Homo-oligomer: A and B are copies of this chain.
Amino acid sequence: MPVYQHTLQLPAFPRGFHLITRIIEREFSDLQQIKAGILHVFIQHTSASLAINENADSTVRGDFERYFNKAVPENAPYYQHNYEGSDDMPAHLKAAMLGHSVTIPITDGRLNLGTWQGIYLGEHRDHGGRRTLVVTAWGEK
């Protein structure tokens, strides 16, 4: 059973939620070798996240940003970790709530996502810069 693993650098994205399914499929063509297996995408940061959600209407991604900004406020009076900017501590919390990896079944060389599913990058900093992913796939050829 082969294991494919690569590091992949995303372009810098503005704060908010972004669909990155196409980037991963394009940059990690090894997944086409796998008949039945799993793709694991891991983000090596603590203020950005990976999740799966609706891939069609961009207002969903906008509502994600608006909701999480309400649910995880900036400048909460009880934050002690506040010297890296008001967007920093909320970014850590959002990243933990949403998660640092996604795992997706691979079937016949393709991501076996539902029709309306895509991979979201959650960029939770104002100027997060380029983010690094470690992408691993394994399964039967």
Contacts and interface: CB of A to CB of B under 8 A. Distances in A.
A105 B53 contact: no
Interface of A is mostly: mixed
Contacts of A138: 1, 37-38, 138-139
A122 to B, nearest CB: 9
Interface string A77-116: 0111100000001001101111111111101000011111
Interface residues of A, number: 62
A66 to B, nearest CB: 4
Interface in A53-85: 53-54, 57, 59-60, 62-64, 66-67, 70-72, 76, 78-81
A60 B81 contact: yes
Among A37, A54, A98, which residue has the most Cβ atoms of chain B within 10 A? A54
A67 B115 CA distance: 29
A135 to B, nearest CB: 8
Query: What are the 10 closest A-B residue pairs judged by CB atoms, nearest first?
Result: A44-B114, A59-B80, A59-B81, A105-B134, A5-B36, A66-B78, A52-B100, A46-B54, A51-B96, A1-B1
